[in-house]
Structure 1
Amino acid sequence: MIRPVPSRRHAIADDLRHQIATGRLKAGERLPSEAQLAARYTVSTPTLRNALALLQGEGLVEKIHGSGNFVRHPLRRITYVGGGCPPGAQTPTEEALHTTVRTTHLRAHGHLTALLKVSPRSPLTEFLCLSHEGKSPHSLARIYIPRDLAPADISGSALTARLAELRPPLAEVEEKASARLPTADEATFLRISSTLAVLSITRVATDTTGRVVEAALLVLPSDRADAVFTTRHTTEARRTEG
């Protein structure tokens, strides 16, 4: 059986991947410049960049604009727990991450009117939450709530608790999960390759009156996140099913 010869970009990626795995290239280390690597492997710069893109897509290499390409420190995996857990509930692993929050007051427009079931230009508050592990961005969330439920001031670690305090009792939490490629903005925020798939979760919380009190758009890079959804059946429900 004749095996296909790997392309130059795959051969270069294999060699760099091996160097990372064996510790010849260490976490946090800056790679030689793209021009130097292209000369070393006797390939064109576009071919070299294609090879690096493969490693960026795997989460092994991080490209920082203006600084170069670096071996990425292994990032801890977090688990998004859905299926009935309180919106924003964090696992111990997630609690160890540092989160920055940017607050913006805006008016409902476009998809936000449908997502929160409000009239155009209804007052909303957006919390843009970016979690970090050390200096590396880890995950991104945009949380939208009606303006009257927004706390006056908030910090990253206290956001979930404060929002839970201010909103009325919930009747339903709907979650929609899908895998896709990141948008340009998401790739920039998270410093990931545009070829690395992300887990996109849209979570909408509704109170007992049918009002949407929170809509969250979560973006979790696939190299550092899992999602678990658990359905629990009560004894009465099992008896009815039987």
Structure 2
Amino acid sequence: MTQTMRSRHHDIADDIKRQITTGRIKPGERPPSEVGLAGQYRVSTPTLRNALAVLQGEGLIEKIHGKGNFVRHRLRKIMYVGGWGTLDPWTAAEAALHVTDRATAIEAHGHLAALLRVPNGSPLTEFLSISYQGESPHSLARIYVPRDLDPTEAEAAGASPSYVRTEESFAVLSPLSAEVRETVSARRPTPDEASTLRINPTTAVLAITRVAADAAGRVVEAALLVFPGDRVDAVFTTHHVTDARQTQG
């Protein structure tokens, strides 16, 4: 019985996929409701939802909270350039990405305080950045900066901000940054990440934690970046320093 139910929802997923790939259901269009599809295929709603979950996992369908399921526009891959915290401008432009930002005043606690090497309760500014391709979310970042280094705070005080935000960067770039440390892992998204990116909770994401420090060792930025695995390639370049004595020898 279990095997029959499993094969049935895969058959339904294959049929809907065929309608999408042949153009019968076009990108941006909404398929019939879950109840309507369940009736059409003569299956229970849970079986139908399992079929849609297969399509969500393959990136063909996205579920928008409060609106329903939609056929996803094909999302292009971009390149993340490690060490600089930037999206490669060529691939980012190719994908026609735009970034929305929301700044919030918060306090550092727990893991965040440890990343920034500040006491619990220290004032920070959190930038929530979400990149979009068209109307579909592509990737997200949470960027944390000590309040006294927040560029908007500096401008309000009449000072010249040292840090500059750019749409391609997903970063607060500063000429004072002397060291950038990045930790990369592949994992499943948190429920909040899956909801924000409109992806299946079982889809693998590339998670990058980037910590930037100045020449004195002060952490000037901590960033938590999340990219669905099928939408990004990460490139890291290592520069080897040759000992002068070896060169002379």
* TM-score with structure 1 setting the length: 0.86
Q: How does 1:84-233 map to 2 (within 5 A)?
A: 84=83, 86-88=84-86, 90-95=88-93, 96-152=96-152, 157=166, 160=169, 163-164=172-173, 167=174, 169-233=176-240
2:160 is matched with none
1:44 is matched with 44
Q: CA deviation at 1:229?
A: 1.7
**Cα deviation code 1:183-240 (max 9, x no counterpart):** 1111121122212211111011111111111110001012212212222335559x58
How many Å separate the matches in 2 of 1:168 and 1:210?
A: 14
How many Å separate the matches in 2 of 1:132 and 1:191?
A: 12
**Cα deviation code 1:34-88 (max 9, x no counterpart):** 1121122121110000110011111100112232211100011111111x3x233
1:67 is matched with 67
* Percent of aligned pairs sharing the same letter: 63
How many Å separate the matches in 2 of 1:88 and 1:143?
A: 13
**Cα deviation code 1:139-195 (max 9, x no counterpart):** 10000111111111799746959932xx45223211111111111111121122212
Q: Is the 8 A contact 1:151 1:162 kept in 2?
A: no
How many Å separate the matches in 2 of 1:102 and 1:87?
A: 19
How many Å separate the matches in 2 of 1:135 and 1:224?
A: 15
What RMSD, in angstroms, separates the aligned Cα atoms of the two structures? 2.6
Q: Is the 8 A contact 2:57 2:202 kept in 1?
A: yes
Q: CA deviation at 1:116?
A: 0.7
How many Å separate the matches in 2 of 1:89 and 1:31?
A: 33
Q: CA deviation at 1:110?
A: 1.6
Give the letter aligned to residue 81 of structure 2: V
Give the letter aligned to residue 113 of structure 1: A
Q: Is the 8 A contact 1:100 1:156 kept in 2?
A: no
Q: Is the 8 A contact 2:105 2:125 kept in 1?
A: yes
Q: Is the 8 A contact 1:103 1:125 kept in 2?
A: yes
* TM-score with structure 2 setting the length: 0.84
> SS of 1:76's equivalent?
coil
Give the letter aligned to residue 142 of structure 1: R
Q: Does 1:27 align with 2:27?
A: yes
Moved more, 88-97 or 131-140: 88-97
- Which structure 2 residue ranges, 5 or more long, are not aligned? 156-162
Q: Is the 8 A contact 2:79 2:87 kept in 1?
A: no
> SS of 2:172's equivalent?
helix
- Which structure 1 residue ranges, 5 or more long, are not aligned? none
How many Å separate the matches in 1 of 2:171 and 2:58?
A: 36
Q: Is the 8 A contact 2:100 2:129 kept in 1?
A: yes
How many Å separate the matches in 1 of 2:81 and 2:73?
A: 25
Alignment length (residue pairs): 233
How many Å separate the matches in 2 of 1:161 and 1:36?
A: 41
> SS of 2:211's equivalent?
strand
How many Å separate the matches in 2 of 1:58 and 1:17?
A: 10
